[in-house]
């Protein structure tokens, strides 16, 4: 056992334990903000696994998309609506938890069976390392051209839509905040912290 191999093994064990315990905590924790932050940690650990597999481009894309965009969006949504109020007790919460736990356990057993019974070709294909970026590009523009183009059109539409939405003129009601009578109405109106346009 040489140094490189043992380092890899240690990294793998640490990362996978982070992923498993982190995702369990995401589901089981009561505090939704903790769950959201831990989700970011889990995404980062998954990126670490990709890095361990010499897929640095995929790892960076994982961080950019999942941590930088998806997770931040989730956090944004949580923090904007996070009112300190008790949720109504849901009927039959215990049985619901049991059922979902059972489904997840069943899925886990199924996947374990697949991963044990499949004859993996070991050792796997050698990684191409730094060339991976070019290879991904080649594949995207040959074998996977149609899905790639469809996805880009979808994203372009979303982007243009964002620009169009942001360009729309929005008129805010003008309030006289110096008038004490209007102070009450200002409070009643509940003007959101950020305008709709800024939530992108």
The answer to the question of residue 68 lying near other proteins (CB under 8 A) is yes
Over the Cα atoms of the chain, what is R_g?
24
Going from the C-alpha of 149 to that of each of 4, 61, 132, 141, the distances in angstroms are: 40, 18, 20, 9
- CA–CA separation, 74 vs 70, rounded Å? 6
The answer to the question of residue 63 lying near other proteins (CB under 8 A) is yes
By three-state DSSP, how is residue 40 classified? Answer: helix
9/64 with CB nearer other proteins: 64
Instruction: Please give the span between the terminal C-alpha atoms of the chain, in angstroms, as a whole number.
Output: 50
21/56 with CB nearer other proteins: 56
The answer to the question of residue 195 lying near other proteins (CB under 8 A) is yes
24/159 with CB nearer other proteins: 159
107/199 with CB nearer other proteins: 199
Tokens 């993996």 belong to: 120
Q: 22 near 38, Cβ under 8 Å? A: yes
The answer to the question of residue 3 lying near other proteins (CB under 8 A) is yes
Query: For residues 8-27, which are near other proteins according to CB under 8 A?
Result: none
DSSP state of 142: T
- CA–CA separation, 176 vs 20, rounded Å? 54
From 67-75, 86-94, 101-109, 114-122, span contacting other proteins (CB under 8 A): 67-75
Judged by the rule CB under 8 A, the positions of this chain that interact with other proteins are 2-4, 33, 37, 40, 44, 56-57, 60-61, 63-64, 67-69, 71-72, 75-76, 79-80, 129-133, 159, 162-163, 166-167, 193-195, 197-200
């Amino acid at each position: 056992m040489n140094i490189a191999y043992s380092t890899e093994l240690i990294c793998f064990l640490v990362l996978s334990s982070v992923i498993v315990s982190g995702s369990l905590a995401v589901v089981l924790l009561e505090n939704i903000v903790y769950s959201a932050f831990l989700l970011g940690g889990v995404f980062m650990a998954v990126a670490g696994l990709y890095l361990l597999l010499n897929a640095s481009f995929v790892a960076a894309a994982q961080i950019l998309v999942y941590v930088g965009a998806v997770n931040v969006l989730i956090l944004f949504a949580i923090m904007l609506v996070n009112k300190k109020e008790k949720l109504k007790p849901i009927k039959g919460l215990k049985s619901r938890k049991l059922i979902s736990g059972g489904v997840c356990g069943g899925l886990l057993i199924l996947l374990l069976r697949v991963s044990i019974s499949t004859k993996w070709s070991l050792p796997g294909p050698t990684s191409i390392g730094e060339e991976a970026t070019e290879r991904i590009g080649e594949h995207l523009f040959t074998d996977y051209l149609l899905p790639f183009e469809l996805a880009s059109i979808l994203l372009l539409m979303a982007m243009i839509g964002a620009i169009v939405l942001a360009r729309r003129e929005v008129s805010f009601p003008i309030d006289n905040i110096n008038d004490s009578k209007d102070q009450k109405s200002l409070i009643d109106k509940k003007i959101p912290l950020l305008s709709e346009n800024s939530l992108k």
